[in-house]
Each structure stands twice: as C-alpha cells, then as structure tokens.
Structure 1
Amino acid sequence: MSRAPRLLQLIEILRARRRPISGQALADELGVSLRSLYRDIRTLQGEGVPIEGEAGVGYVMRPGLTLPPLNFDVDELDAVVLGLRFVERRLPDGLGDDASRALAKIATILPKGRSVEDVQLLVGMPETGAAKTLDVIRAAIRTEDAVTIGYRDAKGEATERTVWPVVVGFFGAAEVLAAWCELRQDFRNFRLDRIVRLDLAGRAMERRHRLLLADWRLTFEMDEDC
C-alpha cells in the first residue's frame, strides 16, 4: 500500500476508536514498522489532523475532524464505477463482494447531486466461475507461497504443475494466471477456467514475488492463447 492510502486508513482506524490505541497495534494493523507509524502520525499532526498521544502511551483522535466529500470529475467517476462494476460482474463472489461494498461507500460520500447511477456504462463480461480459484491465488501471492495445480490444456491433456503465481490478467473470454512453472523452469500462462484443482504446495516460492514480477515484466507479456 502506498503512503497516501495508508494515511487515510490510519485516519479511519483512529476515528473508529474511542479509546487510545498503541502505536504497535496501529503499526500491525497497517502492516508497517513502528518507525513508519510514528512518521505517519507526525505527518498527519503537521497537516492539522487532531491526533493526540505519544509513543508508549497510545493515540486517539479528538472529535471534530471532517473529511471533504469525494469530488470526482465526470470522467473519473465513470472510470471508478466502470472498474468496480467490472469486478462485481466478473467475480460475483469474493472480490466481487468487495467491489460492491466499495461502490456503496462511494455512493454515500459523493457530493450532493452526484450519483453512481449517473454513470451509464454497462459491463457485460461473462461470469467464468473463477472467483474461488482467484481468491487462493491472491492469497498465495500475498504470502509468497507456491501452489500445485491440476491443469487441462486446450487439447484436453491433463498435467500437474507446481507454480509460483506472479499476476492474473483479465481478458474477454477468461482470466489468465502468469506463473513460474517448476516443471518447465520458465514462465507459463494458465487459464483459470482450465485449472481443475488448485492447492497450496505447503512451501514458499524460491524467489521473492517482487523479483518474479520484475523478471516477468521484462521478458513476457500475457497472451490469451493458453
């Protein structure tokens, strides 16, 4: 998470608390070091956010902070709503539920006279049933775990692979996983709708995900023909 969204999340955490919360608890919830948390607190205090407290005691926000409503211009609102509707339609379970909640939040904080219903752009992508598979892949990427898949290719031939997930791409007909394949010792693409079984391999990837992603970006581009 970049710093700007993290600062907003920190504000929301403090607004939801009535009692002081320790710096360590805040750092753990945000997934940052205690040193970074202290720096974020000082930044917000310097911008006038009414945060009280100190290291070793805890932090609390005084009443009175009012955040301005989101002020998307017409094109920005079109882009945000269309993107969320895409996820909502494409992945009706899991991440699609998150998109629905995000859309509802945006609807409640738009300035008076603005509405997400003003966006007359529709998404007609097919529901491929890949949401559960995608959830496991996303979790594996976050924890840098290898996964074992049972895969059936375009010719119907079945194989079992252990792969290191890199990224998932969304195309008109299917979602595609780019991963390092231990069997081929190279990057390969796998359509999610052809993965018949997927399990965590019970061990970590042998390379950090950020390095895999950088290597993949340098050498490959996604292709639907998998």
Structure 2
Amino acid sequence: MQALRSLPSPVTAERLADETDVSVRTLYRDIDSLRGLGAVIDGEAGFGYTLIEDATLPPLGFEDEELEALVLGLREVMAVGDPSLAKGAESALAKLGARLPEGQSRRLKHAVLSATSFFPPPPPTVDAEVLRQAAWDERRIRFNYSDAKGAKTRREVYPLSIVFMQSSHCLVGWCHLRNDYRAFRLDRMLDLEVMDESFRPRRVSMLRDYWQKMRAEALEHGY
C-alpha cells in the first residue's frame, strides 16, 4: 500500500514487485488481496496500477491554509533534512495525499507554497537517526569533535535536540567537558558512541533551560 501511495502511477507490477521484494506472481495475488480488503486499485497486469481509494486510512479534512502549511513544512524537511528524515517526510507526504478527499489531494499535489535549497546543508558525519534515538532515549553519548579551527576534542554529552541553524544541523546538548550547554555541528562529529548512562527524565527541562538561556543572551546583545 505504501508503494502504491508513493510511487508515480500507474505503477507496473514489476516495479511494485521490486519495491516490495516479492515475485510478480506474488504481487498479483497481493493486489487481489488488497482489493478484497476494500482498497480501490485501478489497472491490471500489463498496464500498471493506480491507488484510487485507500480503505485502510480514514479520510482527513484540512483548511486550505493548513494544507499549504503541511506541504511547506514537509518539503522543507525533504530539502534540508538528513537522508533518513528527508525520506520520512516524503513518505508522510505520500500518506497524507492518500488520506485526503480527491479535491484536497489535488491541492496537496499542486500546492502554491514549497521549499527548496540550492545549497543543501553538509551531510552529517555520524548517523543522525542513531543520534535522534539517543536523545529520545535520554542516553549519554561520546564522540570526537572538530571545531571551526580544526581543533579536535573528545566530548561526552547529554543530547537534547537537533536543530537546523542557518546552514547546518546542530546537536544541542549538555557538554561534560565544558560543563555547560553547547551546540555541535553534525558534520564535524565522528565516532558516535551511545553510552549506557541515562539522564532521564531531564531532557525536556534541560532543553527548556537552554532556550531560556539563548533568549536571555539574545536580549542582552540586542538580537
């Protein structure tokens, strides 16, 4: 179903079989099974398939401005997010289109607002998905870091959040080496290690303290 939602239609049986890692014969049986479950799939062998109505997902309704906001946000993630996050945004956009009534689905596909980046941020040199999970699990991490001048240090950090700042993705966290909050560019981090130590349940309150500190510094300097 996800392949039918996301791939350009009509999708050939061969393409669907490759995407789902099954034989073409199995794919034909799967299409029949999905139709039996209520999915409205147009097409047949030799012509390709188009998902007309997704019975597994209830219809949604959005105001026009809400749709534009959703498209803008997801396309911005597709433009500047790390690879796994960009793929997730693309998948979410496809799922959203499959759940909308026909008129709104068309508006979603041809939204006025969009986002692009001619200068994409530098790719992370650590696994951003592992880093996000460590922050969610509130686990202490260790990594090597090179600053803007090339000086290298070994850091141990409580990861709090990943933020897109100006032109790069940065990890915001509590640095045990500096005994203070710090931001680390993901493209300057190496050898990420997730440690056993947990700092749960402090992440939310620590992140709130960090942003309060940033606001106070901004007001102090007149930003």
* Same fold? TM cut 0.5: yes
Give the gaps of 5 or more residues in structure 1: 1-64
- Report the Cα offset of residue 220 of structure 1: 2.5
1:40-75 CA-partner distances (Å, limit 9, x unpaired): xxxxxxxxxxxxxxxxxxxxxxxxx994x3222222
| Percent identity (aligned) | 33
- 8 Å CA contact 2:79–2:115 kept in 1: the answer is no
SS of alignment partner, residue 96 of structure 1: helix
- The residue aligned with 1:123 is 116
- Report the Cα offset of residue 82 of structure 1: 1.4
- The residue aligned with 2:38 is none
1:8-87 matches, within 5 Å, as 67=58, 69-87=59-77
1:164-210 CA-partner distances (Å, limit 9, x unpaired): 01111113310111110001111011111111231112322376212
SS of alignment partner, residue 102 of structure 2: coil
2:137 corresponds to 1:147: no
* TM-score, structure 1 normalization: 0.62
Structure 1 runs, 4 residues or longer, greater than 4 Å off: none
1:95-174 matches, within 5 Å, as 95-114=85-104, 115=106, 116-120=108-112, 121-124=114-117, 126-130=120-124, 133-174=127-168
* TM-score, structure 2 normalization: 0.63
Which residue identity is paired with 1:152?
S
Which residue identity is paired with 1:111?
P
Which residue identity is paired with 2:94?
A
SS of alignment partner, residue 142 of structure 2: strand
Change (3 A) 1:66 1:162: closer
Change (3 A) 1:66 1:199: closer
SS of alignment partner, residue 168 of structure 1: strand
- Report the Cα offset of residue 212 of structure 1: 1.4
Change (3 A) 1:66 1:136: closer
Structure 2: distance between partners of 1:151 and 1:143: 22
- The residue aligned with 1:185 is 179
Which residue identity is paired with 2:150?
G
- Report the Cα offset of residue 132 of structure 1: 5.2
1:199-210 matches, within 5 Å, as 199-205=193-199, 208-210=202-204
2:206 corresponds to 1:212: yes
Structure 1: distance between partners of 2:101 and 2:150: 53
Q: 1:91 aligns with which of 71, 81, 87?
A: 81
Change (3 A) 1:70 1:167: same
- 8 Å CA contact 1:91–1:129 kept in 2: the answer is no
- The residue aligned with 1:13 is none
SS of alignment partner, residue 70 of structure 1: coil
Change (3 A) 1:187 1:142: same
